[in-house]
Amino acid sequence: MNILFGGKAGQGINELSIMIGKVATNLGYWVFNYKDYQSLIRGGHNFNVLCISDKPIKSYDNKIDLLVALDQNTIEFHKDELSDKNEIISEEIINSRGLIREHKLDKKVVNAIYAGSVIKKLGIELNELESVFNENFSGEILKHDILAAKLGNELVEEKYSLKKVGDKKYFINGNYGIAIGAIASGLDIYFAYPMSPATTILHDLAKKQIEYNYVVHQPENELGAINNTIGAAFAGAKTFTSTSGGGFDLMSETLSLQGISEIPLVVALIQRQGPGTGAPTYTSQGDLNAALYSGHGDFSRILIAPGDAKECIELTNQAFYLSYKFGLLSIILSDKHLAEDMICFEKPPEILDVKDRNHPNYPGKTIVKATSYEHLPNKETTEDPIEIKKGIERRLEKIKDYEKEIENFKTTKIYGNGKNLIIGFGSTKGAILDSLDELNAKFLQILYLEPFPKDKVKKMIEDSQDFIVVENNVVGQLSDLITKHTGIIIPKEKRLLKYDAMPFTPHDIVNSLVRWKK
């Protein structure tokens, strides 16, 4: 079933949706939480779509079974999306302001009142919601929230019957996954300047810095963030930074500094709709080329694109491993949809042990020099053409070493067993997976975009009856990358592109591939 929570910015729409999602995951359900919000602090229209199923679900659907409207605009905006047997919980029914006045409650308990009503409508015991409250609140806040939920619970009738169906599942978003992956890799210092939709990595890591004994620092801008990151890494720390859009543009000079200095550098690029300021709270995969080619001069890099929150943990961990073992730039490529929308998984992630200081740049072990100039192996600068050529070749030579290491990792994943082939990367994974039940197709997910798994991709295309490349940008940057590495020309009709700043849904994919329907 699909529940839409809607209201104004500042009304706690996202927290309300997450609370109900946590209750459902505690009961063993698969849950997906889609978050849609404008670039506003107050007002406007924000909404979340919470999808709950007893089977794995990786994306959201537009047909709404239960509409939870904290304002009238939500009903007006979404009335055409309601399913035939829809239910509505609105302020007209709840009268939260009246309840707050009558029981002298804090004004902030409005979403607790609605949460109590939603739980009743779903046929879930109120104590399941109280358990979630207990995990997140304490003192007077907890007391008021529990009372508010009880009041809301009494205002509606039960419609559905969501009983316990299995064990509790993990329920996180991609940014939280990246943060956990960095912590698991032995993070010492995280530097970042806030820029949506990368900002919640900063928030999540700041909350955990005392517990896990690392430091979070917010410098004056993105230039300060990346220069602090590479500088502290040179001094021996395990460091990390993240950004989006224009913030990544500002960092490009330091990417080149890494390329010649070979100081380990890990960067998370969380894409949003551009160019310029664009639509900062909406999604895109338009920065693939920026991630591949930013920085002047020729130098190697790792570019990894997780497709769900669990992969965000695992691939961030791999990025640290490769960066610190080989002195590389590792970029983790995500986007707003993957970064902020929450998904379930059952098994814990696979984590490499990269906490050992396996890179030589650590104080007390050796004297280490670095420079942004071309240099000899001992780091002394040179302008000798012969030595310049040797330096470039030496740095590029290690590509063979890390490509051999990467053979131990999954650079691609294959799902399904149909005759046709869907190719994608990053956040398109969820919608593609949820569309496979209706299509005679398999899905090739590309995890490593640099170095590119050209042989695997080429063989999959050649063995398929037909194929299409799915991506959230206007020109087909992944298609062009495939052509570059495989020589296979991908015409316009084999590029399924979406560039309205919204993520793909299974409906989008199935409707575009009617010829492949089972």
Q: State residue 52's pLDDT score.
A: 98
Q: State residue 387's pLDDT score.
A: 94
Second-level CATH architecture of 172-406: 3-Layer(aba) Sandwich (3.40)
Q: State residue 40's pLDDT score.
A: 85
CA dihedral 182, 185, 189, 191 (to 10 degrees): -30
Task: Give the pairing of strands 441-446 and 412-415.
Answer: antiparallel
Entry field: residues in the chain = 518
Eight-class DSSP state of 378 = T
- Whole-number Å distance between alpha carbons of 220 and 218: 7
Q: State residue 202's pLDDT score.
A: 98
Domains 2-153 and 172-406 share a fold: no
3-state secondary structure of 464: coil
Q: State residue 378's pLDDT score.
A: 86
- Whole-number Å distance between alpha carbons of 381 and 352: 36
By the 10 Å C-beta count (0-12 exposed, 13-18 middle, 19+ buried), 253 is classed as middle
In degrees and rounded to multiples of 5, residue 5 shows phi and psi of -105, 125
For domain 412-516, the question of CATH label 3.40.50.920 is answered with yes
In degrees and rounded to multiples of 5, residue 94 shows phi and psi of -80, -45
CB atoms within 10 A of CB 92: 10
Give the start-to-end residue ranges of the domains of the chain: 2-153, 172-406, 412-516
Q: State residue 365's pLDDT score.
A: 58
Q: State residue 67's pLDDT score.
A: 97
For domain 2-153, the question of CATH label 3.40.50.620 is answered with no
The ranges of the chain with pLDDT < 50 are 364
Sheet holding 239-243, edge to edge: 215-217, 189-191, 239-243, 265-271, 329-335, 302-304, 448-450
Q: State residue 366's pLDDT score.
A: 62
Q: Which two tokens stand for residue 174?
A: 């991609």
